[in-house]
Structures are given as C-alpha cells and as structure tokens.
Amino acid sequence: MNRRNVLDPDNNNVVNVNELHNHHPRIRAEDFRSPLVRRLLGTERYTDGHKTLRNSYRSSALEATETDVNLNWSGLRDDYNKCINTYQEPVITEFATLGLSCILLHLNVNREITEVTRRGEKADYWIGEREEMIEVSGQQNGDIEEICAKKSVQLLENPFRRPGYVCVAIYKDSKARLWYYQRSEE
C-alpha cells in the first residue's frame, strides 16, 4: 500500500478535473466531473474555468497538513448540461464530493476508490482491495469540523472494523477535508 503524499507544492497542485477518473478505473468516476464543476462554479451556467480549494489532509499517522489544490476544467459543457437536466441538487452535491474525494485520495495518498459499499455498511466506497473505506459528504454551507466529526463516527461503525477516510466539502467556502480515521485499540 503506497501511502506517500503525492502533493507537490512546487507544481501548484494543479489538477485537471476532466481527468479525475483516470486514477479510479474500477468505478464510473467520469460521472463525477460535471457535478464537481457545478458545485465549484456555484451556478447552472457552465464556463471553462478554475477554482482553488483549501485541502486539509490528515494521514494515517494522524498528522494534519493544509495545502491549496488548483482545479481546472474545460470542454465539459454538453456533459454539464446533461448533469443539470438529470440530477436533483442533493445528487449533484454527492457526486461532486465523490469526484473531489477521487482527486484528494490520489493527490494525498495515491489511493484508488474501487467499488461502492452496500447499504448498511456505514461508508460509501471501498478503497484498494477493501483495505480501507471512505465516507463522503458535501454541503454548500456548514461547519466542516462538525460534518467531519459526524461522518467519522459513521465510518468507524462499519461492520468490517476497517479504517478509512472521511472526505467532506463546504463548497461556498472552497474548503475540503480528507482525514484518516481508525478505531482505538480496545
């Protein structure tokens, strides 16, 4: 398992949203691109563009760091319009945060989201070969610490006793958090 941090402050942490799915080939991550752009733009009107998010990352060593991640996109107009016409706002937000989690997992720890969990498993997706799990939540407004704390409790209640990540985003504030959690030794 490669857990190194691949964020490089020297390259300005630039990510092309159009390519977020390339590091997650076992899921339909390409479906998350336009919802993410929708949340980043904050409007139903598409434009090619870019946005900087503040990324708070906590590793498995429980060390937290903050960096800016520069997201850019172009040429997604047709898919964007289909997204707006197909999904209700809560689904767009969920897909947007899944897209963001794909980006942050790859950038921070070079990990892959591999499959959806089943209802009742207390997390959204499996990471790798089911070594870890990820729970995601995004909102337009809110307290990122409060949301993360709530989702961490949910993640740690998973019946497999697996550690994992919580990825939360507050789109109005351009903030995201990818924090690692594991159960305390009992």
pLDDT digits (tens, 9 = 90+) for 52-109: 999 999 999 999 999 999 999 999 999 999 999 999 999 999 999 999 999 999 999 9
Residue 3: the pLDDT is 45
How far does CA 166 lie from the centroid of its chain? 9
Mean pLDDT across 166-183:
98
Q: Provide the 3-class DSSP secondary structure of residue 114.
A: strand
Q: Provide the 3-class DSSP secondary structure of residue 137.
A: strand
Q: pTM for this structure?
A: 0.92
Which residues fall within 8 angstroms of residue 9, CB to CB, at 6 or more apart?
A: 67
Mean pLDDT across 177-183:
97
> Two tokens at 82?
């289909």
Q: Provide the 3-class DSSP secondary structure of residue 107.
A: helix
Determine the Cα angle at 21 with ends 31 and 156, to 5°.
85
Mean pLDDT across 103-130:
96
Residue 184: the pLDDT is 86
> Two tokens at 68?
């800016």
pLDDT higher than threshold 90 for residue 8: no
Which residues fall within 8 angstroms of residue 87, CB to CB, at 6 or more apart?
A: 35, 95
